[in-house]
Amino acid sequence: MNVEWGYAVALVVAGVIAIGVALSNRQRQAYNGGSPLMLFLLGLSWWSFTYALFWLRVPGPTTFFWLDLTYIGVLIVPTALFWFTLQFTGRGRYLTGLSLLLLLIVPVLTLVLLWTDPLHGLFFGGKRVAGQGVIFEGGFGFYANLVYGYGLVLVAVGFLVQALRQARDLYRSQIFAVLAGISIPILTNVLSLLGVTPFPNLDLTPFTFTVTGIIFAYALFRLGLLDIVPIARHTLVEQMSDSLVVLDAQDRVVDMNPAAFALLGVEGREAIGQPGSALFGAWPQLNALLLQMRPASQELLLGSDSERTVELQISPLYDQAGAFEGRLIVIRDITQRVIVERQLREQIAENEELQAQLREQSIRDPLTGVFNRRYLEESLRRELANAQRKNEPLSLVMLDIDLFKSFNDTYGHAVGDQVLQALGRTLNENTRTGDIVCRYGGDEFVVVFPGATAETARIRIDECRQAFAQLPIEIQGQQIHSTISAGVTSYPADSEDVDSLLNSADRALYQAKQMGKNLTVILPR
């Protein structure tokens, strides 16, 4: 009896440990694998507690009541463990409603056969003995459950081993811990079934699964199990919006993700195994890139009439020994980016054109089309500084329309505006590109001649004066003519600064008026 009490106490301790780990995992239930791990630990605690009640000889409705209840935990543990492994190794997508239903069929049938065994003997096969704490043989239902449970666990171990081969660093430690936690009860159970056990009438499986719970607790708190999990290929590749194609060393297609199938318009059975040149036959530029052994990138249009643009990135793949294994091709749809960039360039061009128009409007006289006084102040200082730096001459002419007030008084301001416009056109047409023609104010104009002496400026402005005098201006059905007077000054002969140049040109203009108008005058030195 003391031995049985010792078994019971050990089982209670095992159940408490399982419950404790389950409660500590409660906040991680929302993580990938958290729910099945919680179910696994709860099933383990149920197994331990009900098995403890059996060894305590607590009376039940039937002789084998508590042992029969342990089978609820016995069936939960491998199923939950398999479920956890699928999620932990990135295969959770296989857990659909139908697959979960299939997983539950064997456990439910097992419980039905177990609890109705006295009617048919299909589970225990008549080999059950009162007081026996462990069963090593039975009927069809017993062996079917045995195959089912071990089958799930072995498949789970296979998934974990495969994940271990691909994992690195911390993830390897996590998988090692999970594998160790699963292997201990498996080994113990196998030895028990083979009769290699120090306690012939005691099922050690719940004890060893408690060790599994402790190892899982270590993985939870020290290795970040469920907190830090590797992202599976399904998440990284299958759900990517970018198209991925993998070619082997012979440029044959060995892998593609769904985005690539959709982009290239092929089925998996058709694409896998065929040459990359056949898959990308519509893109001869890509076939040329495949001949290179270094990373490459290029933008391509999909079809001659298509607005769809993709960016291709090709990266060579090498094994750990440095041998060439193939290529990874990433195809990214950048159509929207290209459209936005084109629209942005167009907008920038429009803005620059608008700015140029606004700039032009700000420096132009709206009536005559020549530069305004503001531009004269900017440009004259610049041209004078340039002449001083290069030691070159610069001449300035100030002119106005003779008897302009009479035009306005006789014909009105509208006619006066026509005369001003005609003079502006004449000055623009009879000066060089580098000369600066400005309306100074009213009917006064200023022309700057960079690099010209006073005499050269006089000759040029005389050509303008004569052309304007001969220009007929249509006014109310009749032609009239007008004249201008001009005064010329220059740097460095007459003035050294902007204000002096303007004052000197104004005095020369005044003298031209005094001398009879329709003249060009240079002040005597």
**Integer Cα distance of 52 and 48 in angstroms:** 6
Quote the pLDDT of residue 421: 93
- Give tens-digit pLDDT for 227-248: 544 545 555 566 677 888 888 8
At residue 305, φ and ψ (nearest 5 deg) are -100, 5
Quote the pLDDT of residue 424: 95
- Contact in structure between 174 and 219 (CB atoms under 8 Å): yes
- Give tens-digit pLDDT for 442-482: 999 999 999 999 999 999 999 999 999 999 887 777 788 89
Quote the pLDDT of residue 1: 47
Residues 6+ away with beta carbon under 8 Å from 82: 103, 152, 153, 155, 156
CB atoms within 10 A of CB 408: 16
Residues 6+ away with beta carbon under 8 Å from 112: none
- Give tens-digit pLDDT for 108-131: 888 888 888 888 888 887 766 666
H helical segments located in 372-412: 373-390, 404-411
Residues 6+ away with beta carbon under 8 Å from 275: 251, 252, 253
Which domains are delineated in the chain? 2-232 (1.20.1070), 240-337 (3.30.450.20), 364-522 (3.30.70.270)
The two tokens of residue 22 are 């389950």
Residue segments in the chain with a per-residue pLDDT below the cut of 70 = 1-3, 24-33, 127-136, 166-171, 193-203, 209-210, 217, 219-239, 268-269, 281-282, 284-291, 302-306, 320, 525
CB atoms within 10 A of CB 457: 25
210 to 22, 77, 204, 269: CA distances (angstroms): 11, 12, 10, 47
Closest C-alpha to 333, from 350, 304, 308, 365: 308
Quote the pLDDT of residue 376: 94
**Integer Cα distance of 36 and 83 in angstroms:** 6
- Give tens-digit pLDDT for 281-296: 667 666 666 667 778 7
Q: Using DSSP, state whether 372 is helix, strand or coil.
A: coil
Q: What is the dihedral of CA 172, 176, 179, 183, to 10 degrees?
A: 160
Quote the pLDDT of residue 304: 54
Quote the pLDDT of residue 399: 96
Report the DSSP beta bridge partners of residue 450.
Answer: 394
